[in-house]
Amino acid sequence: MAKTFTFEIITPEKVVYSDSVESVVADGTEGSFGVLAGHAPLITAVQTSILTVTDANNKTVRFAIDGGFLEVMANNVIVLTDTCLKEGEVDTEKARSEKDSAEKAILKVGSAGEKEKAQAALRRANTWLKLANK
Amino acid sequence: MLSTREIKQRLRSITSIKQITRAMEMVAASRLKRVESRVLASRAYTDKMHQILSHLVSSSSLETAHPCFVEKAHEVPVIKIILITADKGLCGAYNNNIIQKVVRFAKEHADKTIRLVHIGKKGNLYFSKGGYSIEKYFPENVEKFGYSQVKALASQLIDGYEAGEFGQLYVFFTKFHTVMQSFPSHIQLLPVEKGAFEAKEKLQREYIFEPSADKIIEALFPKYIETQLYQCILESLTSEYAARRVAMIAATENAGEMIDELTRSYNKARQESITKELLEVVSGAEALVQH
């Protein structure tokens, strides 16, 4: 059996996931990376993307996370993110409607901050849909 | 001695007061349950955030250029205080405790200018009378004070600090412990005390930072202030409901005791009046017989 480490995903609302796992694959701001047991200490920003976890029983679980940070420290990996949806928890209709409204908001004339917000919302909705479709 | 009629009136009013306090207790209990789970859940997030930031600060050699770490207390003798109180009373000493703490703090720092930012009506009411300078007051309910508002407030505060509007920022709130216990407390939010982030155990190895430590601090820092502030509000809200619930339980109990007492004296008064009437009838009848 492969070595494992503890992995947690925490949002302001709850601890979404906490278990010992074999590997984690995430999208950092500098590109995709994987974490295995014994990884060197690392702190990084992660993108709004899909995070793939392989747990101790060799099952993969996927999460859609909305930006945030990931820390690796002595076989403890923590992800802090604003929202996190597990595979199968995605409300496709809601994601679609959010995508539509975000797309409309981007086309509208607005301040740079509003545009950025809309783009973030679009990325989030797209990630949700991607998670739901696979 | 009150007449039976007066006693009856008081009984009625106390019974309805008891009903009200019971209802308020129940409302507070259900709200408490809701926020309590929220406060406990977000504590995990806040703690981890603090942990990551402390790892970041203590392990990176960066003599943090981030302006929020720079001490300005000597240059700018202005202290900003965010005070979180309730909007309503009837919650025991909850409001008073935290207000008194701020008053004491203001006395200790009388050499500096104190500016207050109020979240919650009660604090605003108290300090608007006492010649304090109130900078801002958020009139909406504390409960409705959502994360987006916290975010806006936090970014305003950070900008203000960087621009040198104030030298220190404190938050006064009530930390929730158990339903029976909560503590009025305060934290220094800005400048960030490096001491608060000293790691308990020395870290064995250097971290890898992606993209770079400065960039991460830049992104993480506003988040940290936001979550701290939000946590303070949640803690206060939970303490408020807990305090209200305890106060209302006590009030309901007191009302019950009073009802018991009044019922007793009502019965006594009733009996006395019956005895008196009987005596009158009997002596009246006797007087007739003697004629």
In contact, B56 and B213? CB cutoff 8 Å: yes
User: What percentage of chain B reaches a pLDDT higher than 70?
Assistant: 91
Q: How does the average pLDDT of chain A come out, rounded? A: 87
Of B103, B223, B97, which is closest to residue B155 (Cα–Cα)?
B223
Provide DSSP, A61-85. Answer: EEEEE-SEEEEEETTEEEEE-S-EE
* Nearest-angstrom CA–CA distance, B148 and A4: 38
Q: Is the pLDDT of residue B72 over 80?
A: no
**In a mutagenesis test of the A interface, which of B38, B39, B50, B52 is the best target, namely the one with the most A β-carbons within 10 Å?**
B52
Contacts of B126 (CB under 8 A, 6+ apart): B95, B99
**Strand A68-73 vs strand A42-46: parallel, antiparallel, or unpaired?**
antiparallel
Average pLDDT over residues B76-102: 91
- Name which of B41, B52, B147 is nearest A69 (Cβ-Cβ): B52
Q: Is the pLDDT of residue A120 over 90?
A: no
* Nearest-angstrom CA–CA distance, B157 and B11: 53
Contacts of A53 (CB under 8 A, 6+ apart): A7, A17, A21, A23, A24, A25, A60, A61, A62, A63
pLDDT in tens, B103-114: 999 999 888 888
B286 inside 8 A of chain A by CB: no
Q: Is the pLDDT of residue B94 over 70?
A: yes
Does the domain at residues A5-86 carry the CATH identifier 1.10.10.10? no
Among the residue ranges B11-15, B95-99, B133-137, B205-209, the one predicted with the least confidence is B205-209
Q: A43, B209: Cβ pair inside 8 Å?
A: yes
**Strand B208-210 vs strand B181-190: parallel, antiparallel, or unpaired?**
unpaired
B22 inside 8 A of chain A by CB: no
- Say what the pLDDT of residue B290 is: 80
ipTM over cut 0.85: no
In contact, B124 and B136? CB cutoff 8 Å: no
- Say what the pLDDT of residue B201 is: 54
Kindly state the DSSP code that residue A122 receives in the 8-state scheme.
Answer: H
CATH topology of domain B4-19+248-279: Helix Hairpins (1.10.287)
pLDDT in tens, B253-267: 999 999 999 999 999
- Say what the pLDDT of residue A9 is: 93
**pLDDT band at residue B283 using 50, 70 and 90 as cut-offs:** very high
Contact residues on chain A for B203, CB-CB shorter than 8 A: 41
- Name which of B147, B216, B230 is nearest A43 (Cβ-Cβ): B216
Tokens standing for residue B252: 């309901």
**In a mutagenesis test of the B interface, which of A80, A84, A116, A117 is the best target, namely the one with the most B β-carbons within 10 Å?**
A80
Contacts of B110 (CB under 8 A, 6+ apart): none
User: What percentage of chain B reaches a pLDDT higher than 90?
Assistant: 44
Q: A15, B49: Cβ pair inside 8 Å?
A: no
pLDDT in tens, B166-188: 888 999 999 999 888 899 999 88
Q: How is chain B split into domains, by residue range?
A: 4-19+248-279, 22-245
Per-residue HEC secondary structure of chain B comes to CCCHHHHHHHHHHHHHHHHHHHHHHHHHHHHHHHHHHHHHHHHHHHHHHHHHHHHHHHHCCCCCCCHHHCCCCCCCCEEEEEEECCCCCCCCCHHHHHHHHHHHHHHHCCCCEEEEEEECHHHHHHHHHCCCEEEEEECCCCCCCCHHHHHHHHHHHHHHHHCCCCCEEEEEEEEEEECCEEEEEEEEEECCCHHHHCCCCCCCCCCEEECCHHHHHHHHHHHHHHHHHHHHHHHHHHHHHHHHHHHHHHHHHHHHHHHHHHHHHHHHHHHHHHHHHHHHHHHHHHHHHHC
Residue A103 DSSP SS3: helix
Q: Is the pLDDT of residue B98 over 70?
A: yes
**pLDDT band at residue A82 using 50, 70 and 90 as cut-offs:** confident
pLDDT in tens, A92-113: 888 888 888 888 888 877 777 7
Backbone phi, then psi, for B182, in 5-degree steps?
-150, 155
pLDDT in tens, B2-48: 788 999 999 999 999 999 999 999 999 999 999 988 888 888 899 88
pLDDT in tens, B125-146: 899 887 788 888 888 888 888 7
Of B182, B180, B196, which is closest to residue B235 (Cα–Cα)?
B182
pLDDT in tens, A15-61: 889 999 999 999 988 889 999 998 888 889 999 999 999 988 889 99
- Name which of A11, A30, A73 is nearest B45 (Cβ-Cβ): A11
CATH number of B22-245: 3.40.1380.10
- Say what the pLDDT of residue B53 is: 82
For B281, other C-beta atoms within 10 Å of its C-beta total 10
